[in-house]
Structure 1
């Protein structure tokens, strides 16, 4: 008997996950979204996987452009995570006014200066997974930016820092 989707969601809310800002620069603007479904897939070659809503605009732009930036957020960046998780958000640059950032050399995407780590990535493939897709990303550049900072976590529907 299949698990009820609401039971599935309730169970996984108990799992603490790191919070990442994924950004994509296209010809028109910068698009960004908060994601918590990120995992390391391979060290050689360096690959990560990101889960995105199949019907979402970030997935569409990522597939169109073929590259993105990932910024692993620190505990003091919870407000940024909230800004990028709300519906109908404006351009990523408008949400990052007064927040220091640079552009990835490969993707041209926004990478946050205050992030724990940043990854500059190329899209390798996309696999359908129910109402989501798994984007397999080839990591072209990685930089540890704030090694002593506490990570931002998502647990039970809230952003939090480790105890």
Structure 2
């Protein structure tokens, strides 16, 4: 018997996940998307995997460009996460007008200076996985590391802090 899609989504929503911003710089613009399906794959060599919608523009651009930056978002980035998860969003730079950022040296992707961490990555391969693709990324640099920052988490369909409390507006 097939699993009910609503029950499946509700079950996975019980799992608190870190929230990241994936950005790709191509010749035309900067593309970004919020992702919470991120996992460490290997320490030697350093690899991470990121789940992206197979039909989404970020996966298409990443496949063409072959590199990206991934910022692990801090609790104050709840608004940034919301902006980058909405449909029809403008250029990544326009969504970050009041947020300090810089470019990763290898990929040229945008990294948030006050994120928990940022990874500068090269695409190893895209793996089809149902309605998503898994982007297997080789980590080439860690341009941001703020171990004292508080994490942004996604739990039960909402952005929360490390205690599970809903975020408040700054």
TM-score of the pair, normalised by structure 1? 0.98
Aligned to 1:146: 146
The CA distance in 2 between the partners of 1:9 and 1:77, in whole Å, is 24
1:100 maps onto 2:100 in alignment: yes
Structure 1 distance, partners of 2:151, 2:7, is 27
The residue number in structure 2 matching 1:109 is 109
Question: Which stretches in structure 2 are left out of the alignment for 5+ residues?
Answer: 164-170
Which secondary structure state, in structure 2, belongs to the residue aligned with residue 80 of structure 1? helix
Deviation (angstroms), 1:98: 2.2
What's 1:71 paired with? 71
Report SS of the residue matched to 1:87. coil
Instruction: Report the alpha carbon displacement of residue 121 of structure 1 after superposing the two structures with TM.
Output: 0.1
The CA distance in 2 between the partners of 1:2 and 1:17, in whole Å, is 25
- Is the Cα–Cα contact under 8 Å of residues 113 and 144 in structure 2 kept in the other structure? no
In the TM superposition, residue 70 of structure 1 has moved relative to its aligned partner by 0.2
Instruction: Report the equivalent of 1:128.
Output: 128
- C-alpha distance in 1 between matches for 2:95 and 2:43: 32
Q: Output the CA distance in 2 between the equivalents of 1:63 and 1:30.
A: 14
| SS of residue paired to 1:121 | strand
CA deviation after TM superposition for structure 1 residue 6, in Å: 1.5
Equivalence for 1:91: 91
Q: CA deviation at 1:144?
A: 4.4
Unpaired runs of 5+ residues, structure 1, are none
1:29 matched residue in structure 2: 29
The answer to which of 95-104 and 112-121 deviates more is 95-104
RMSD across aligned positions (CA):
0.8
The C-alpha deviation readout for 1:96-121, integer Å capped at 9, x for no partner, is 11211111111000011010000000
How far residue 2 of structure 1 moved from its aligned partner, in angstroms, is 2.8
Structure 1 segments (4+ residues) deviating >3 Å: none
For this pair of structures, how many residues does the alignment match?
163
Shift of residue 93, structure 1, vs aligned partner:
0.3
Normalised TM-score (structure 2): 0.94
Question: 1:45-89 CA deviation, whole Å, 9 max, x = no partner?
Answer: 000000000000000000010000000000011010001001000
State the secondary structure of the residue aligned to 1:150: coil
Question: How far 1:143 moved relative to its partner?
Answer: 3.8
